Amino acid sequence: MSIRRVLGVFLGRQFELIMSKHEQVFRDYYSRVTDPEFPKDVAASLAKEWGYHYWDGDRRINYGGYHYVEGYWTDFASKLIDVYNLTPKSRVLDVGCGKGFLLRELAQLLPGLKARGLDISQYAIDNGDPAVKEALIGGNASDLPFDDLTFDLAISVNTLHNLHVFELDSALRELERVATGKYLVVESYRTEKEKMNLLYWQVTCESFYTPEEWRWWFDRTGYSGDYEFIYFS
């Protein structure tokens, strides 16, 4: 798929590398909002602490226990390797890395890979996967502590939609700055049903945009990398 000119700048390619995995998860949207113990406002407040409740607390709040599962990330990691021609000498940054499970999978497939992970959650960093923990650091996507073009590929999966507009603007510019190749995944919606489901399910999302609006953001910030949208159908 060639680079296309949309709006005012050259945008990268739109992929579907992770959507099939996203669709495998069952979600009871209505119960997310009406649960008597963790109604939506309570769940969101706890989740936005980015601590135990977000990662390892009750499933009605968020992940309900975020643990490494052998093979879970293999297919997605393999696709990234193939699409971006990664080698053991490649330098990869994961912005919003969580506990580092995707980086672990990439490192297992490409021993010697120079990988770094950054996350706003100190809990996630402190409880990071032992296999890659030394490569994980706490930090903010809006102010990456790396020099220009430090990485061959910067990825950000299901993270940037959690930022307010002023943070999102900076984060997109930062991704563009630190890497030659870029790939991000954000939540989006195409219909009123998908919008409703997204609003019901999410507990940390601050930026709710259609694909067209996301592309407007890419144009505004000069983000020229690849992207993927996930939907709550």
Is the pLDDT assigned to residue 226 strictly greater than 50? yes
pLDDT averaged over the chain? Answer: 94
pLDDT tens-digit map of 128-175: 999 999 999 999 999 999 999 999 999 999 999 999 999 999 999 999
Question: Which whole-number Å values give the CA distances from 219 to 7, 200, 223, in the listed order?
Answer: 7, 29, 7
pLDDT of 24 reads 85
Q: Over range 179-192, report the average pLDDT.
A: 98
Alpha carbon distance 129, 143 (integer Å): 24
Q: Domain 4-230 sits in which CATH superfamily?
A: Vaccinia Virus protein VP39 (3.40.50.150)
Catalogue the E-assigned strands of the chain.
4-6, 9-11, 91-95, 114-119, 136-138, 151-157, 179-187, 226-230
Break the chain into its structural domains and give their ranges.
4-230
For the cut 90, the answer to whether the pLDDT of residue 25 exceeds it is no
What is this structure's pTM?
Answer: 0.93
Cα gap 111→207, rounded to integer Å: 36
Percent of the chain with pLDDT over 90: 91
Q: Please write the tens of the pLDDT for every residue from 2-20.
A: 344 444 455 689 999 999 8
Distance CA 229, CA 233 (A): 12
3-class DSSP assignment, residue 8: coil
The whole-number pLDDT of residue 10 equals: 55
Please state, in angstroms and rounded to a whole number, the distance separating the CA atoms of residues 99 and 204: 17
What six digits make up the tokens of 44? Answer: 């969101």
pLDDT tens for 44-92 read 999 999 999 999 999 999 999 999 999 999 999 999 999 999 999 999 9
